[in-house]
Structure 1
């Protein structure tokens, strides 16, 4: 029986373990922090649970427009909606722990061995697992998968203290809402937390070193989001690079490189990620790392060392749980000789869980504008969608990209409520190589937000 040892129990690791077991391998997972990794325990599951509460607040703010009024017990109009952050974060932690326990239960039912501790490569086909008490065990393997993830990047000039200066992994210990929150970093993580806390009723200042929020996302989508956030009261400081973050009692001060200062009660640092690749014996085993310390892999998750694979955030690229899980499954299929399709990042659908959400798949507007491919582009605002009107939705759009000549869909963007759900038909079309006409020919429900996807596809039809 083939033996696989997996170092790390996040999505790249636990999904690979389940895949390898299904394909008949003997599997051991060495995990330090808890099954599910940061995706389940400190990142995706917690942050999206927090955002679920913020979404309710957004809906409640729109309730009067839909004819819903709130009254207290005496019949007087209620004027305040308040969030109990201690209860919110208690729920966040409980759901994360339950999800991790569920994964561990799946391991137990399938007979996948879990070794709690740290792992490192110790030569061809050998992994040393060290328990928290220091006891070491040597594990033999026909293949090793490294899936150790990444951690929040910090700077010497902005050290988190876990109380007022926080990484995105530390915010769930807050029991009271910040009186004034500063978010440093306007990438996906920074934008999501800034949007969420703003929706929870917290005054937010977003410090961005670039000229706009979400510089790596579709420019039209980012413009809509920034307009919505500023309309709701967020203070967005564009082209403002952080020099330092300091704390004096209950006050946090962010100093910018131009000398300006911003003060608040709390600060969230969203400065990117650092791979967890130290102390794993990678270089000694012949595993190549890039200048940032991320593991170099090919499209079937192989590293430069024979028999060693890697998946997830420790490899850089698209740092998404879905990509990590797919890369881990691909690694085990390749190792065990099963049919495998190499990872194609152009088919990855991703979502920014702001309000409104931003979902994307396939080629981008920037690639089209840069001449990488000739494409026809249609943008359709949601403000004209009948279901959007019923729900009081004014902001957002659907944008589709079709290859010029063939009409094949090669990408798309959705901005709006639950864009993470609306992107799926576009993702299917891009993955299957469907044309805009084929997407348009599928029935949609009337009225529905998805009707805008079909309508955008119809507008891409050309007469020969």
Structure 2
């Protein structure tokens, strides 16, 4: 007979772990299944480790430019990648062990280390990492299995060494020449950090520009900043074949040209971890992207089964995963009726300076064909940016002229990932832009210029 629980949570990512604790706290006997590292992508190979690398890269960048601020360094700047990695390992080790201890110490939570597969709509078989088999059942099952790096099918790939966002974090020696396939968030963050570490970096972009989903003016500005850091870009390129050479890898392109690099990183998207869950046994068919389709309350088509986090395709960020948990917890435990359909999407790209956005882009508004007001302001007008000597970038906001509600906003610039929250909050409050425009902000900050930005609105033409 299988062990019966009130709830089973598969995966301990940013949504799964707190959900298990919340369920147990409500009196539900809860099983948690984790086949690998506690904490999921964010803690182990995503936000936490990469942002420690971003911090190290920025430290190197600031040190190299110290003389601009009247600070004279006697010696040059050299990056010890092994120490950078060791610091990263220390940070994620604390977070990972903290998540595991939290779960194991929570009354009502039983942790299973191993790989879980559905054997029916409400039954799971766990192949334990210790070799033991466990049969579980529950009235409610929550899928939180996340995604992994996508590696494209390229001739010769099985005969070379290559990197993903996970394995590049294990390097202890700095690449001489890092080639990166991809032109979106992950690719650009790694490109800038390794260029600042001291590597030669070449980014191979399939399309005509980076950040294809963002407004062209922001994408071009990001490219300009990274180019100044030494990143080389090759656009409209597609890899046809790779082969090993004495000092690394040769990347052959479909246009007949080739690039030799010491290391090759693929940053070409994410693949959902749904192919080995036995979903068919639960009556769940992943969509063409391998994602688990859900409704606004994150319920799958199978009664009593939910999917949260990256695996459901309703967001691919730590904050959307955690918000998934909050929505499910509110509905399942607290008796509320919340929906993911009502949340306003927001995110940031953690290049330096960061790019952050909420709601609609200018391209979205134009495609929608709706009337709008628009305003832009260069970061060179922001006192905080000038004082810090970091004036790259600009702000942009779009407003509905009838309702006076903010449609969307974006900031590329110093502390833009924090300042964007002034827009996020006012949009979630469903208040008119004048509420934000008339607020008194602290000087000298980035946010203090947002009311000034809103005072510059004019019709979008």
Check whether TM > 0.5.
yes
The 5-angstrom pairing of residues 268-417 of structure 1 reads 268-336=265-333, 338-344=335-341, 347-417=344-414
Q: Evaluate the alpha carbon distance shift between residue 434 and residue 215 of structure 1 in structure 2; reply closer, same or farther with a 3 A threshold.
A: same
Task: Indicate conservation of the 8 Å contact 1:429/1:439, yes or no.
Answer: yes
Whether the 8 Å CA contact 2:66–2:73 is kept in 1: the answer is no
SS in 2 for 1:171: helix
Residue 108 of structure 1 aligns with which residue?
104
Comparing 244-253 with 387-396, greater Cα deviation is found at 244-253
Structural RMSD (CA): 2.1
User: Which of residues 21, 24, 33 in structure 2 aligns to 1:21?
Assistant: 24
Task: State the aligned residue count.
Answer: 455
Which residue of 1 is the match for residue 57 of structure 2? 54
Contact 2:81 2:174 in 1 (8 A): yes
- Post-superposition Cα deviations, 1:360-395, rounded to whole Å, max 9, x if no partner, equal 111121111113532211111111111211110121
8 Å contact from structure 1 (residues 119, 280) kept in 2? yes
Distance 1:391 1:159 in 2: 47
Displacement of 1:162 = 12
Cα distance in 1 for partners of 2:251, 2:374 equals 41
Contact 1:7/1:30, CA 8 A, preserved across alignment: yes
Correspondence list, 1:43-442, <5 A: 43-71=46-74, 78=75, 80-111=76-107, 112-157=109-154, 164-336=161-333, 338-344=335-341, 347-442=344-439
1:37 is aligned to 2:40: yes
- State the 1:318 CA deviation: 2.2
Q: Please state whether the residue corresponding to 2:48 is helix, strand or coil.
A: helix
Task: Tell me by how many angstroms 1:358 deviates.
Answer: 0.6
Residues 380/171 of structure 1: CA separation in 2 closer, same or farther (3 Å cut): same
**Helix, strand or coil at the partner of 1:100:** helix
1:262-311 CA distance string (max 9 Å, x none): 11111111111111112212122111311121111111110111111111
1:134 CA drift (Å): 3.0
User: 1:217, CA displacement in angstroms?
Assistant: 2.2
Could you tell me which runs of 5 or more consecutive residues in structure 2 were left unpaired when the two chains were aligned. Answer: none
Q: How far apart, CA to CA, are the structure 1 residues paired with 2:323 and 2:241?
A: 38
Q: Check conservation: 1:93, 1:172, Cα contact below 8 A.
A: no
- Give how far 1:164 is off: 4.8
* Cα displacement string for residues 227-283 of structure 1 (whole angstroms, at most 9, x for unaligned residues): 111223221011111223332232211111111111111111111111111221212
Following the alignment from structure 2 to structure 1, what is the Cα–Cα distance between the partners of residues 156 and 310?
Answer: 23
- Structure 1 residue runs without a partner (length 5+): 72-77
2: distance between equivalents of 1:362 and 1:159? 42
How much has 1:187 moved relative to structure 2?
1.2
Please state how far the C-alpha of 1:174 moved relative to its aligned partner.
0.9
Structure 1 residue aligned with 2:15: 12
Deviation of 1:38 after TM superposition, in Å, equals 1.6
Partner Cα distance (1:334, 1:160) in 2 = 46
Contact 2:373 2:458 in 1 (8 A): no
Aligned counterparts of 1:129 and 1:114: Cα–Cα separation in 2: 11
Pair 1:29–1:201, CA change in 2 (3 A): same
How high is the TM-score relative to the length of structure 1?
0.93
Corresponding residue for 1:74? none
Q: TM-score, length-normalised on structure 2?
A: 0.93
Write out per-residue CA displacement over residues 137-166 of structure 1, whole angstroms, 9 at most, x where no aligned residue. 122211000111111111332677899521
Query: 3-state DSSP class of the match of 1:122?
Result: strand
